[in-house]
Amino acid sequence: MPAITASAIQKDSSTVSFAGNLVIDSLPRPKKVNNHVVAHRGGSMETGVPDNSLEALNYAMGLKCYASECDIYITKDNKVIVAHADGNDKINGLHPWEATYEKIASVAKLPNEETIPTLEVYLDRLLQGGSTKLWLDVKSISSIQRSEADELTSRCSERASEIVRQKKANHFVEFIVAGKDIYDRTLKAAKGDWPCGLMDTGLSPEDFKNNGYKWANFQDTKVFYHDGQLKGAYSIRDYTDAGIAVSVYHVDTEQDKAWYVKRNDVYALTTNYPKALLKALAEER
């Protein structure tokens, strides 16, 4: 695999640098891995286990992926729950912001008999692994008024940030969000301690640069390249030339894998099939 470069986000084993700020601390750090593959929902689609489950996280860690992605929501009692809601923003038939974690978890278990995990439980398992990071996808809400939805999502980012610090997992997480207002509050909550990616293809490279945003996380069906077709108004180079790190999701098809594994200008590649993408990267070396 060609070397992954991203001037906006630089890390090594002893220091972390974001936007020119150098942070040195004694918090635990992940062991280096030789890839920048992110397992979407732990690679649950590939392995056949429930998404956002601990079993899915274990799968991604077993592959030694750069990161495992998970979805998070905030509950009525200020817990952060790791789960993916249905099309009506419900988990186990309940809107998470209207129900306590105990109530949501009591309705039903995951198909593998796991209890729906909290972020604390997820981070505990992640830290045991010691190498794979966690990408926290702070899910947007569409079933209620926009202002209320954005407030709930922003609060989820803020509460998740508190939990990350309590667990001393600062160097094991990266956040991704959709929506500029939510992103601004997510960045503020991060305090420069970990990278935060914005999933808003409506912003140009210049918009990212002018706002001081350092990382664009975009879906490949909307931008850059997907199954033989170039997408969107801007190239990856347009963003990286503006000092913006770029990651792409979901690199799943054979054509997409063949195109993206040859590039050396992407920060990370998210996929539903991490084992297959790791194999493609190894063959490209």
Spatial separation of the C-alpha atoms in residues 199 and 106, rounded to whole Å: 33
Provide the pLDDT confidence category of residue 7 given band limits of 50, 70 and 90: very low
Q: Are 176 and 197 in contact (CB under 8 A)?
A: yes
Taking the C-alpha atoms of residue 49 and residue 83, their distance in angstroms, rounded to an integer, is: 13
Strands (DSSP E) along 5-131, which ranges?
A: 9-11, 16-18, 21-23, 37-39, 67-74, 80-82
Classify residue 86 by burial, with Cβ atoms within 10 Å: 0-12, 13-18, 19+: exposed
Q: Could you tell me the domains of the chain?
A: 34-284 (3.20.20.190)
pTM attached to this predicted model:
0.92
Confidence check: pLDDT of 25 > 90? no
Give the largest CA-CA distance in the chain: 50
Confidence of residue 1 (pLDDT cuts 50, 70, 90): very low
DSSP helix/strand/coil, 144: coil
Res. 4: pLDDT tops 60: no
| Count of CA atoms in the C-beta half-sphere (13 A) of 125 | 20
* Whole-number pLDDT of residue 17: 42
**How confident is the prediction for the chain on average, in pLDDT?**
92
Give 177-188 pLDDT, tens digit per residue: 999 999 999 999
Alpha-carbon dihedral angle through residues 73, 75, 80, 84, given to the nearest 10 degrees: -30
Task: Read off the pLDDT band of 8 (50, 70, 90).
Answer: very low
Q: Above 60 in pLDDT, residue 97?
A: yes
Amino acid sitting at position 224: F
Quote the pLDDT of residue 23.
58
Query: Per residue in 140-173, pLDDT tens?
Result: 999 999 999 999 999 999 999 999 999 999 999 9
Mean pLDDT, residues 245-266 taken together: 96
pLDDT more than 70, % of the chain: 92
Instruction: Of 151, 57, 58, give the one whose Cα is nearest residue 71.
Output: 57
